[in-house]
Structure 1
Amino acid sequence: MNDIRDILKQRILIIDGAMGTMIQQYKLSEADYRGERFKDWPSDVKGNNDLLSITQPQIITEIHKQYLAAGADIIETNTFSSTTIAQADYDMQSLAYELNVAAAQCAKEAVKQSGKQAWVAGAMGPLNKTLSLSPDVNNPGFRAVTFDQVVAAYYEQVKGLSDGGVDILLVETIFDTLNAKAAIYAIKQFYHDHPQLQPAEIMISGTITDASGRTLSGQTLEAFYTSVMHAKPLSIGLNCALGAKEMRSHIEELSQMASCYVSAYPNAGLPNAMGEYDETPDETAHFLEEWAERRFVNIVGGCCGTTPDHIKHIADSVKRLQPRVLPVVEKELV
């Protein structure tokens, strides 16, 4: 396989679209989520999409194949919530490692069946507990989790994804940078503990939550960038929360400051009153084509509400356009 950094110098790469949106189309029941193995599990598991990598691997593999056929160069594993902390909602903490291995194997199998060159990115979601914010409005100093606990959760996820064979580790949908720094620390510690392994490339993708241009934990885009660049990632970017129209100015700002490649995978617009996404593939592709024409991006794709049709339109719209050129950096931060 060609080195992804070499390919990024030549063209804009395509990352896939929403996993959850595609899973919803299967209209799975509680029994479908449980499968035979978990038919007697004591708590409800419907909605635990990550579990499907074990109980319905053929569905997850098929979704990956649809995105690959649509033009995706990078596919994300079905592991957004595959940590001990997030899986506690379903009393499935003990499955965290297995979920990551299984999801990585689904993605790798899809690439194999597709016959095309593509990279598997191990998705590391933001967790359902934050290190920067208190869940108790009456006790702002309280934290529901410690830094060491977050590191341990991410470390186990990295181990599972690595054992499953991912090419990239994608720390994504970051709304609390301290959580992301714990994830980065866990990645670095894992490879320090396993020097025989070739470290996976790191992609980092944050979330600007509203027109303020800040993350949920209050950082400006520049502050967020400065906080995570010590990881020396392959790319930094934005995803989720906003549609492409609302994300544009932030991507332009990021493209002007980033010393690495820039990624962007927005939602299919903003959700309507029913929580659904109405932006058509043509509309999403039009926005991302304009970003590409202005040399803002190196990796583009979709988040919530996007489908293989969105990804196909995006891929077709940017394939003739040149990628953003990395700036010459005189002195890197140490």
Structure 2
Amino acid sequence: MIARRPLTDRVDEFTLAATDGSQLPGWTPGSHIDLVLGSPGVRERLVRQYSLCSDPADLSTYTVAIDRHRDGRGGSQYAHDTLAVGATLTISAPRNHFQLTRALHYVFVAGGIGITPMVPLIAQAQAASRPWRLIYVAKTRADMAYLDELTQLYGERVSVHESAHDGRLDLAESLSDLPRGTAVYVCGPATMIADVEAACADQVAVDAFFERFTVVDTGDRVNQPFEVALAYSGDTLTVPADKSILEVLEDNGVLAPSSCREGMCGTCEVGVVSGELDHRDSVLTPEEQSENESMMVCVSRCTSGRLVLEL
């Protein structure tokens, strides 16, 4: 890590460079990387995903911004309390499940730290000379990372909503009557994503794309055992109620890449040949989930008793 600076009282920006000074792998706006957090020798190390928010044309560094979550899963607290300039970290290559699609108009909706993937996405839309606007929501302006930079660059295209003063934003009103061919990108709390999806659902030729920071709530769904057949090897394995498909694959020596193990990063996506699926990830869109062509084997399950995977 070559630099660190505060953006708000809770958000710090971390700048990373290769230890040998070489260029880092290329990436596109909307990409994220895994950061392996924890001390060497500690068995249970934390792997967390953070959006890249720097310039993809500059591969000398990566930049991520991390919000300290007091009630989080430990990664943000470790980063804020431990990481200092000069620290050596293990990271993954960038992955992108949130890339900018071709559209006539764009609306970006960011809640708090959800601004991080929006910074390069907005720059891409601006470079393409497409009409766009940003709705930036946080408790107060003081909680909005990158706000000064964004308003200086883009002026009135940036709309700010301070929930501490103005209450909850009515996204149904803010996103009403969007032009045909609009793509709406949202990153923030689950309630915000749900509000955006509802606001866009009945509009013609308007698509919503989202990125989540939280694990999907599975509610009162009860796990049932099922069989997994591997199409390439011909093996059939049993997945008990208390284990994931990924764990059973690993127990049986089947190579299955993984990272977050919580359905948020997309590393463990596997193609599906047949079977009825219970999707529990936050990577695939509702449309992609309904197609049942792939699944995240770290969290998602089968409801038909038998599943055939492209493994």
**What TM-score, normalized to structure 2?**
0.31
**What TM-score, normalized to structure 1?**
0.29
More RCO (CA 8 Å, sep 6+): 1
More strand by share: 2
Larger radius of gyration: 2
